[in-house]
């Protein structure tokens, strides 16, 4: 069961990492207009393109989080340290997911279509991934 949850979390995170990697290479996929892409994935006023280095950094971190999910699913690996890392990664995703619903976040990232996409897709995805990490860590102790 834990490997199934970890696989689902990994596939979700791999998809996000691949999109960010494509943006780091300069691709505007899946939106043809780079300005609209920036407004859809960053949401800050005045941003007209996705920063390549930032996208690459996010791609690496998200892929690393996916690898952590697969590692946490192996109950015999990593001991308490890996469990704590899994909790930390899960907490980071939960915090990001919750932040997307706060007024503070909305004032920092008000641009459309990001604001709507964040409420409907990005924040719920972060909450789902964070919950997946918590379940994986909990299953290590069962």
pLDDT digits (tens, 9 = 90+) for 104-128: 999 999 999 999 999 999 999 999 9
Under 8 Å between Cβ of 59 and 53: no
The alpha-helical segments, DSSP class H, found in the chain are 2-24, 34-41, 52-73, 79-99, 103-108, 114-117, 123-140
pLDDT at 72: 98
Residue 1 CB neighbours (<10 A): 10
Distance between CA atoms of 33 and 20, rounded to whole angstroms? 16
pLDDT at 62: 98
pLDDT digits (tens, 9 = 90+) for 34-53: 999 999 999 999 999 999 99
Q: What is the pTM of this model?
A: 0.95
């Amino acid at each position: 069961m834990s490997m199934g949850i970890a696989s689902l979390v990994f596939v979700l995170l791999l998809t996000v990492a691949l999109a960010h990697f494509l943006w780091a290479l300069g691709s505007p996929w899946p939106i043809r207009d780079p300005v609209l892409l920036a407004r859809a994935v960053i949401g800050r006023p005045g941003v007209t393109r996705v920063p390549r280095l930032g996208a690459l950094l996010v791609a690496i971190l998200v892929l690393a989080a996916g690898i952590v999910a697969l590692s946490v699913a192996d109950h015999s690996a990593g001991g308490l340290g890996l469990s704590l890392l899994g909790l930390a990664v899960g907490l980071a995703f939960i915090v990001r997911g919750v932040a997307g619903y706060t007024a503070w976040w909305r004032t920092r990232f008000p641009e459309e279509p990001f604001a709507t996409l964040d409420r409907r897709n990005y924040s719920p995805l972060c909450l789902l991934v964070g919950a997946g990490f918590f379940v994986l860590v909990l299953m290590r102790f069962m």
